[in-house]
Structure 1
Amino acid sequence: MLGTNPDSVLLLRKCIKTEKRPVMLCPTRESNPKPLVRQLHLRPLDQLSIITKSFCMVKNREDLLKDNKDEIRVMNGIKFLTAVTVISVHVLFYMALSGISNAQDYDKAIEGKGGLFLHIDIIVDTFFAISGLLHIKGLMGRRQNLLSVLLKRYIRLIGPFAVLIFYLISVSKHTGSGPGWYLGIQEETNVCEETWLRSLLMINTDIKDICHAVTWYVPCDYQFAILGTLLFYFYQNNKRLGYTAFAVAVVFSMIIPGVLTYWFRLPVVHFMDIGKMIREIRDTWEVTYTYTSPFSRASAYLVGVAMGYLMSVYKPADYRKSVSMTWSILGTAISLGAMLATLSIGYITKFREYYPLEAAFLAGTNRIVWAAAICCIIGMCEYGTVPVVSSILGWPVFTPLSRLSYGIYMIHPIIVQRHKFAQRAPHKFDPYGVVLDTTSTLVVSIGLSYAMWLFVEAPLINITNQLFFNRSKEPQPSKSRGENGIQHKNGVAKTKKFAHLVSARLRIHAGRATTNYYRALITIVMSQL
């Protein structure tokens, strides 16, 4: 009967289309829903919908694997390989803390070629340089509220950090036992129970009070983010003031560790006295002064800030291959040589007389040289052609692994501690065993950091972006004109008028969807009578 009146059927279909569709808890690529408005304008049901969607594992997995448009690919490889190096260093570190049966072999390795890597702790400055680069690049990319940027950075860091602190306080002490368990785990748990609040407030960098071997990094990174944001604020209001503030910060970042090293006669490289680490790891006050404190490690971050500024002004997409292959290879080779020279500082200073001025100079400049070398390699790969290095560091597999590097960095010490401190016999130092321990720890850390990403990191990022910092933008009208300017102007005016009428009509129908539906049914029935 309905088929006899096409107008009635068309009216019924229009009314049905105005009905609300059910909310999808796990949106697919095809649905691609637009982000909702800010939290103040959301109903409780909409807020709950956003939270449930944020925990969608399918979407979080896609976010982990996707390629961003302006992503610096070589940086992904650098971040992941740095995390792998940190794992191998901590395997050796905890092996020494828990006892080595063949200590003479260990000493021979350090006195030989292995001594060139005594300053391997500087590898962490790679993370600081990359953090500064990405932070300032994000600030230069678009205008945004600077306090909101700091809040987002805090939420990004605090998720895995809070999970780690909870594990250390409530779980880790029940996971093993052994002669070295108190030194390695129980004492750490007791310290964390007393200082967890300072850690979560990002103000705990003292070696006596840090919850975990790597947790000093998180407060440093966040305090550096505050510094970078403050410098950008100066630059945003007055470029000359911004440049001046940056120069002053760079000078002080070199002077402070140099003066502290000279005044207290501190070593340039820490952690070379294994016996002291075993006896009194929490009492090494000099580590707090020039290793874990942000005022002594800011130079690497500031180098990253400078590189991020340059890459924002001279975008790699616009200046691709502007540096010749010869200069690119030469710059990369010089950077690798500078990194090797910086690593060998520990070996050089260990077997020669201590000179305070020399130690102060090295302490003030070694981190800035390392960070400059890292940024130079990134620049040569982005603006030039470095055949082998670019291919290795830009391997697509490193893209998701680099996003897991923060979780890997935070989780891996727990795995190493459980293995080393629960063992009831001394360890045997063996290069093959170190490689095997590093590989197994890396695999487990990747798995756990992947779970951390799915259930902690990605949901927090999604919830923060949707509820507090909605970045959805209204579609911008095309600025291009047709060949006939008058026709284009008239056409645009008519199109806008028609769109306005259609949108008004749709708003009326959307507000009365149910009423129109029943009216359409009555109209159809009456038309057939």
Structure 2
Amino acid sequence: MANRLSLVLLLCLFEPLVRCVSDRELSLLPKIHEMENPDECSKNNGVFCKITVMLSPFNGTNHSEAWRVIEETKEDYRYFPRDKLFHGRCFKKNQVDRLEENLKFSYDSKYRNDSLQANVKSFACFEKGRYILDDLDYWDMLFISIGVIYGVFIFLATVYTYLASKEKANFVIQVVTIFSLSTIWKELRKPIKNEDFQNLKSIQGIRTITIMLIISMHAYYGNMLTFLKNPEFMENIYINLVTRTVITIFTFLVQSFFLISAWLLSTQLNNILKRNGDLTFKDVFLMAFNRYFRLIPVVAVLEAALRSNLAYNMVSYINADMMKREVDICRYSWWKNFLFIQNIYEPDKICSSVTWYLAADYQLYLLTLGLYYLSHKMKINRNYLISVVVVITIAIQVTIVSQTDFQGFLRLIPRTANLEDMLMSIEFTISYIPPWCNSITYMMGIIFATIYCNHKNERLFHHTVKKILWLVCFLGLPVLAIFITSFQYDIRFLEMMVSIFARPVFAFGIGIGILGMAGKTGGLIRMILESEPLIFLANFCYCVYLFHYAIVFLRILQQEEMAELSVFYIATYTFKDYTFSFVLGALVYITVEHPLVQLQKLVFPQVSTKRPSLEESTKPNSEIIHSNST
């Protein structure tokens, strides 16, 4: 009896491993994507229209073979929604006025032979040349003017520092020197001797590798937003257990950054308490204040670029609707990014959706400052406060998952293969980007930082058995979390457990890895993560994170033909995305982030300590408390 129950439970848990729909059955269905040539359409002075078509049983009967297959695919998250079709068609200009009527007539009988009824859900038409440079508005001209003046200033500052004699600099000269490219480059190449930075060098490698995986994630998911010749390629990835497990890592990546952010902040706070013997309200305020103004300049540059009409000229005219959505959000909801509330207030309308991480990280940053201050001033055990936060977090997530009917943990799956559907989904807005979905990982970072500070000069994993346990935890726990999450569970309790605990399990493994490498454990893994190229590229991670999405997004929206996916195709454009993202990120870092951070340190008051901490060092590479993610 027990064996039977075990078998039933096993089949229930891993039912998704069984493929329900055969290739023969899928061949019975209409193609998801159909597209005429947009370039030929514009040459013939036509209007290109993107049409969304919904299928339903003809005359309300559910007995057709095609509809039965569609119903099966709708119940399986691994498939694209086969009742929703996306077509791109060219029409003559004189047909546009009566297009709705023409479309209804055209699609009314298109799939009758399959006993399916086609209804046009929506359509949008585009004419080449509609968006031109003459559309620049006052704000565009203002931002361009500021950019030109700023660029000239950087050039003059660079020339001045190259020609000027090495005399004692006054305040003005110090400011000019900060913006010199030669000065910035020298600081980038200057060795870092900070003790905590040296111990935690592996963090830099993890940040660089993680940001590369995040670029891969958005490049991969972007495939689902385009017209595809072979959507089955994407479906097969999710049908295969191994490839589905590999792809599932994408939704865990930001946990590394939350863990690192909390770890480094807590290390800085512990150092302040150790050196000063106190943590004042002034200290907490200055840290929050400087953190805010450290993040905002790059965000401002990004928003100025995305709200511009120039953006329309960087995409294909057939994708102007998707570009318009982004531009409109950046024009009317820009202020949320400056208040860091975009992940909790109208989270379906975020200017550059990747900025949700900045909001969540800053909110948890403030929470951590509050926990440390409250613990120190009121003599409350910090572990008790952390436990309270964890319990509240679990209670919120249990309530959400149990009281709503949705997927649970966010998975990048074909079922939500539409940018607007994904960004507006409950999985994204209430189960991925709010602070309570990531606070357990952040609290875990505080705990690891405390262990690190208390055992900074000890080798915690020195013995062979401990090294083996370290390796198993570092590699095994993240893989375990990813593997379990690669399934979807019909049993609500199991989905609830995955939603709550999968992320902390993943982060715990990464935390064990960093803690071991801080104590010189790790061998080849540590050598790779602490290599000079990865450490150097880590300088640019914040800017790369913010701007890579624009690179990937624009590349996708430039396409005017149906894509035929293959491993080579994906590898090629992913490499290009890496290259352009890091080049642009480095450019923004050198011209915006680094000089303005140094100016901030020169102008704004800083927390007073007896020796430099991780954030306080003037060396840019040691400014590793970044809000960098996925």
Same fold (TM over 0.5): yes
| Counterpart residue number, 1:324 | 463
Tell me, yes or no, if structure 1 residue 197 matches structure 2 residue 335: yes
The answer to whether the Cα contact below 8 Å between 2:406 and 2:426 also exists between their aligned partners in 1 is no
Query: Deviation string for 1:116-146 (max 9, x for gaps)?
Result: 1343211111111111111111122225711
What are the equivalent positions in structure 2 for 1:41-440 lying under 5 Å apart? 46-66=170-190, 67-69=192-194, 70-71=196-197, 72-112=200-240, 113-119=242-248, 120-142=250-272, 143=276, 145-170=283-308, 171-183=310-322, 185-205=323-343, 206-278=346-418, 280-315=421-456, 318-320=457-459, 323-349=462-488, 353-440=489-576
How far does residue 255 in structure 1 lie from its aligned partner after superposition?
2.9
Counterpart residue type for residue 312 of structure 1: C
Query: Deviation string for 1:348-399 (max 9, x for gaps)?
Result: 22xxx51111111111111111111111000111225221111111112211
Counterpart residue type for residue 115 of structure 1: R
Larger radius of gyration: 1
Q: Which structure carries more relative contact order (alpha carbon 8 Å, separation 6+)?
A: 1
Mark the CA change 1:68 to 1:474 in structure 2 (over 3 Å): closer, same or farther: closer
Q: Distance in 1 between matches of 2:403 and 2:182?
A: 56
SS at match of 1:215: helix
Query: Deviation string for 1:409-452 (max 9, x for gaps)?
Result: 11111111111111011222212222222211111111111111
The answer to whether the Cα contact below 8 Å between 1:133 and 1:307 also exists between their aligned partners in 2 is yes
The answer to whether the Cα contact below 8 Å between 1:324 and 1:384 also exists between their aligned partners in 2 is no
Mark the CA change 1:428 to 1:239 in structure 2 (over 3 Å): closer, same or farther: farther
Mark the CA change 1:357 to 1:197 in structure 2 (over 3 Å): closer, same or farther: same
The answer to whether the Cα contact below 8 Å between 1:26 and 1:53 also exists between their aligned partners in 2 is yes
Q: Distance in 1 between matches of 2:589 and 2:270?
A: 27
Moved more, 84-93 or 335-344: 335-344
Q: Distance in 2 between matches of 1:340 and 1:99?
A: 32
The answer to whether the Cα contact below 8 Å between 1:328 and 1:381 also exists between their aligned partners in 2 is no
Mark the CA change 1:398 to 1:189 in structure 2 (over 3 Å): closer, same or farther: same
TM-score in terms of structure 1 length: 0.77
Tell me, yes or no, if structure 1 residue 461 matches structure 2 residue 602: no
Runs of 4+ in 1 over 6 A off after TM superposition: 30-34, 471-475
One of 581, 586, 605 as aligned partner of 1:450: 586
How far does residue 329 in structure 1 lie from its aligned partner after superposition?
3.5
Query: Deviation string for 1:92-137 (max 9, x for gaps)?
Result: 1111112321111221122112111343211111111111111111
How far does residue 75 in structure 1 lie from its aligned partner after superposition?
0.7
Counterpart residue type for residue 267 of structure 2: K
How far does residue 287 in structure 1 lie from its aligned partner after superposition?
1.6
Q: Distance in 2 between matches of 1:231 and 1:25?
A: 46
SS at match of 1:211: coil
Query: Deviation string for 1:297-350 (max 9, x for gaps)?
Result: 2111111121122222222xx21466324412331223311111111234322x
The answer to whether the Cα contact below 8 Å between 1:255 and 1:364 also exists between their aligned partners in 2 is no
Q: Distance in 1 between matches of 2:166 and 2:184?
A: 16
Q: Distance in 2 between matches of 1:49 and 1:146?
A: 31
SS at match of 1:96: helix
Counterpart residue type for residue 367 of structure 1: R
Counterpart residue type for residue 111 of structure 1: I
RMSD: 2.5
Counterpart residue type for residue 132 of structure 1: A
Moved more, 272-281 or 146-155: 272-281
Counterpart residue type for residue 303 of structure 1: M
TM-score in terms of structure 2 length: 0.65
Specify every segment of 5 or more residues in structure 1 that has no aligned partner in the other structure, as ranges: 1-23, 35-45, 476-529
The answer to whether the Cα contact below 8 Å between 1:105 and 1:429 also exists between their aligned partners in 2 is yes
The answer to whether the Cα contact below 8 Å between 2:364 and 2:439 also exists between their aligned partners in 1 is yes
How far does residue 164 in structure 1 lie from its aligned partner after superposition?
0.8
The answer to whether the Cα contact below 8 Å between 1:132 and 1:305 also exists between their aligned partners in 2 is yes
Counterpart residue type for residue 302 of structure 1: M
Q: Distance in 1 between matches of 2:474 and 2:332?
A: 43
Mark the CA change 1:320 to 1:198 in structure 2 (over 3 Å): closer, same or farther: same
How far does residue 81 in structure 1 lie from its aligned partner after superposition?
0.4
Counterpart residue type for residue 51 of structure 1: V
Mark the CA change 1:433 to 1:453 in structure 2 (over 3 Å): closer, same or farther: same
Mark the CA change 1:173 to 1:236 in structure 2 (over 3 Å): closer, same or farther: farther
SS at match of 1:287: helix
How far does residue 471 in structure 1 lie from its aligned partner after superposition?
7.2
